[in-house]
Amino acid sequence: MSVLSEDLKNRIRAFIPKYPRKQAVTLPALHLVHDELRTVSNEAIVEIAEILELHPSEVNDTMTFYAFFKGEGEKLGTTRFWVCRGLACMLRGAYELIEHCEDKLGVHCGHTTPDGKITLEFAECIGACDGAPACLVNDVHAMNVTPEKADQLITELKLK
């Protein structure tokens, strides 16, 4: 049985006409699958490769280059919570903030809370240096994040 729904496959196919080659749809396809399934399993890789007329190893090669994507055996929580540790954030307390979030969530960076709600990660500069220390909640910036603000964000995410 297919791991990608027909709707998801159609959304991947919709990208094909935008590019001169089907392989260029690899990143858009990985994003779509990753967003929906919270992982890109080996079966999903095979199915993406079929749509794009590639060998599965080509999709796998690209996917594993970007540490962003979670592969076989890994799964993201409902929300990704990144704490930036870039220089501007480090100077304004990012390391303390990472430790605080690890304590608060009870997991180290790279891991998901047992209830599956939040995956905590560190990021290498998210381009929000005017609001350092900054976090990224999925793909939305949270600026000037104090430990209190982090607690509030985490509480809101846990309620969802």
The only residue of 102, 117, 147, 149 in contact with another protein, by rule CB under 8 A: 102
- Extract the tokens encoding 59: 């999709």
Radius of gyration of the chain (CA): 18
14-43 binders of another protein (CB under 8 A): 18-21, 23-28, 30-31
Closest of 117, 122, 123, 128 to residue 155, by C-alpha: 117
What does the per-residue mask of binding to another protein show for 105-144, with x meaning CB under 8 A? ---xxx-----------xxxxxxxxxxx---x-xxxx---
Q: Pairing between strand 118-123 and 79-84?
A: parallel
Distance of closest approach, residue 120 Cβ to another protein, in angstroms: 10
46-65 binders of another protein (CB under 8 A): 52, 58, 61-62, 65
Closest of 48, 45, 51, 52 to residue 23, by C-alpha: 52
Using the CB atoms, write b or e for 98-125: b if 16+ within 10 Å: bebbbebbebebeebbeeebbbbbbbee
120 DSSP β-pair partners: 81, 111
Q: Which is nearer to another protein, 61 or 156 (CB)?
A: 61
Binding residues for another protein, rule: CB under 8 A, are 18-21, 23-28, 30-31, 52, 58, 61-62, 65-69, 85-88, 90-92, 94-95, 98-99, 102, 108-110, 122-132, 136, 138-141
Binding residues: 84, 89, 125, 129
Please report, in range form, the residues annotated as the binding site for [2Fe-2S] cluster. Answer: 84, 89, 125, 129
